Amino acid sequence: MTTIRQMTIKDLPAIDQVQQASFIEELWEDMSLFQGILDKYDRASFVAEKRGIVLGYLLTHPSRIDRDDFENGCEDLNSSEDHLYIHDLCVHPDGRGMGIANLLLSKLEEFAKENGFHKFAGIAVQDAESFWLKQGLKQLKPYPYHGEPGTLMVKELLVKELR
């Protein structure tokens, strides 16, 4: 059974291994960037484990959709954030086909709705646009990421009004 839980700093070595097994080298990011994001906002990042082995992760933080420097991580938070930004969603090749990405995204959507976020966004890289379209995200604009082609995509969420 796959377990989804909140990401911690202790997960970074395993996350680094998943990243390196999954992305082209130009998209590998230093774990100090991930730690910086977690230091500023650790509530919306999750890992997927099976038998204690990290097979996937979702690194997310509040942001503004008008940023032009998403690859720099999480800015200082100041309540102007209008969405959750998916910095990284990654599933190890050994974990693909098990529904791990869907489990992680379901957890994110649950978190977003419970915490008043009305949308989330991410940058599709490595020909992943079709995956994100299937998840309900819409193309917003071309957005190069670390010099590689990408597309900024966004999903509007239906959030119940609190009464």
**pLDDT tens digit string along 34-72?**
999 999 999 999 999 999 999 999 999 999 888 877 777
Domain spans of the chain? 2-156
Identify whether the C-beta of residue 40 lies closer than 8 Å to the C-beta of residue 34: no
The superfamily CATH assigns to domain 2-156 is: Gcn5-related N-acetyltransferase (GNAT) (3.40.630.30)
DSSP letter assigned to residue 46: E
DSSP letter assigned to residue 75: P
Give this prediction's pTM. 0.88
Q: What was the pLDDT predicted at 160?
A: 55
Q: Which range among 2-16, 21-35, 131-145, 147-161 has the greatest average pLDDT?
A: 2-16
Q: What was the pLDDT predicted at 79?
A: 81
DSSP letter assigned to residue 133: H
**pLDDT tens digit string along 89-142?**
999 999 999 999 999 999 999 999 899 898 999 999 888 899 999 999 999 899
Q: Among residues 76, 74, 78, 67, which one has the least CA distance to residue 140?
A: 67
